[in-house]
Amino acid sequence: MSSNPQNEPASAEEATADLYRRLFPSQESGMMILLAQLLFLMVLTSCHSLPSHHEVLARVNNEKLLTVHNEKGTLSPLEARHELAVAAGGKADLNWLHDLALGEQNLTNRPLYAGNRIELLVDGPETFRAIFAEIREARHHIHIETFIFRDDEIGQLMSELLIQKARQGVQVRVIYDSFGSTMATPAFFDRMREGGVEVHEFRPFNMITMVPVWHSHMRHHRKLFVMDGRVAFVGGLNITRVYRRSAAEPPAKPMIDDRWRDTHVRIRGPVVSDLQRVFIDMWNELHQDGSGKVIDDGQAGYFPPLEREGNSLVRVIYSFGGTDTYEVYDSHVHAFAKARQRIYITQGYFAPNPEFLAILREAREEREVDVELLLPGFTDVWITFHSSQGTYNTLMDANVRLYERRDALLHAKTAIVDNVWSTVGSANMDYRSFAHNNEMNIVVYDHEFVQDLEVLHEFDREQMHELTPQEWSERPFSHKMMEWLGSLVRYWL
């Protein structure tokens, strides 16, 4: 990564303000209809609150045994502890790390997988080069879940490559979210189907009727690629042209449709089998009504033998919108509650519940944990942006440091705790990801991978503008009003 010159704060503010004025009257199709429908829904239904952090932590039972799998099977307690020691690399207290991993297991009911290699991928060009290369090498199957699949230059490249692989006899399956992919025409997906790609549209979305509305607002937000059951990709990137250039390239001005800053990972090792299982279970659940072919996972090729590839311990955490389980939320809450040194967060959409904010405040005020949030200075969803800014006073009062990226649109979803825990995935830190969407993150226990993420965090921070309490107190009254409006619908964002 090469650093690009940081804009002067005043000029950055002017450029961002100009961008916002141009964006405000031309939001994505259906967003205002969606907001109106959700406001109506709020009147008809009561909101299910996310559990408080005290309720989450009360469910932790560290008397159970830590479950760790590797390429040969389930490890003994002694072997599991050895894997934790290798992942820690002397950078964390082993008893603390064991309690962290076991508590997370209790909350999520998900095992750890040892022996994985996690490769950090930054922004679109690097990520899609890696994904396209693995697709070209696929010989048995390609499985994809995405929120956005657009009919643009990136989407066309992906579509053509998938059709080519299907014609070569590779099984290609795609799950895309209907609302996220409204900018793509039905003909775009029909062409893939005609080319041999099995395509499923998750909850077909009608922007006018949106019937039933309580189902329409629950979306499939995951981003997952699995090729031949041997390699997988997870992170924040969708299939769209906004990733055609890297955020590290020199900007002319902030743009809503270019140079998005995002983070993805390539995964090799035993945990790929768990990611494969997540896709197959989802696909078969969606097609149990006979609308498409289910996958016979007993056939050869879906779960090939996997070798040890590295030292990362990885847990796959996923959630389903509209249920009363919140594994992604619980995982974050538990890790932040256990933090001793630092909590570094990079988030494209940050608008969580008050209890989530409280645990960050407690980490900073009661344990003197270094808490930093890297957040967008402009975004593609104005109501979420202002709802996010409505949390800034609470955080600043606790001396949490806040930074805004104003030269590129920040979309990444990552977090770091101390020297060994990290997470990357599709989930934002807001009600929508925690309670309403289907999401997927991986949690990585590995001091070397955390070191890579910290380098990226520091690089990103250098490109950003740090907000001060005085500067924030002097923001225009109109901004405060928008924050208040955003707070009213935060649960549905």
Place of tokens 């303000």: 17
**Residue 319 belongs to what H/E stretch?**
strand 312-319
Say whether the peptide bond before residue 125 is cis (omega within 30 degrees of 0). no
Whole-number Å distance between alpha carbons of 385 and 410: 11
Active-site annotation holder among 151, 228, 274, 460: 228
Q: Characterize the bridge pairing of strands 413-417 and 342-347.
A: antiparallel
Active-site annotation holder among 223, 264, 334, 447: 223
Whole-number Å distance between alpha carbons of 471 and 315: 40
Whole-number Å distance between alpha carbons of 175 and 196: 14
Active-site annotation holder among 151, 177, 407, 418: 418
Q: In the annotation, is 413 catalytic?
A: yes
Q: In the annotation, is 411 catalytic?
A: yes
Residue count of the chain, please give it: 493
Place of tokens 């409505």: 390
User: What's the angle, vertex CA 145, arms to CA 142 and CA 146, rounded to 5?
Assistant: 130
Long-range contacts at 242-246 (CB < 8 A, ≥ 24 apart): 242/124, 242/409, 243/123, 243/124, 243/125, 243/127, 243/128, 243/154, 244/124, 244/125, 244/153, 244/154, 245/124, 245/125, 246/122, 246/123, 246/124, 246/125, 246/126
Closest CA to 105 of 315, 276, 311: 315
Q: How is residue 40 annotated by DSSP?
A: H
Q: In the annotation, is 418 catalytic?
A: yes
Q: Phi/psi class of residue 235: alpha, beta or left (left: φ > 0; alpha: ψ in -120 to 50)?
A: left
Active-site annotation holder among 411, 436, 447, 465: 411
Q: In the annotation, is 332 catalytic?
A: no
Residue 201 CB contacts under 8 Å (≥ 6 apart), including other chains:
176, 178, 181, 189
Active-site annotation holder among 69, 264, 338, 413: 413
Active-site annotation holder among 98, 220, 221, 465: 221
Active-site residue numbers? 221, 223, 228, 411, 413, 418
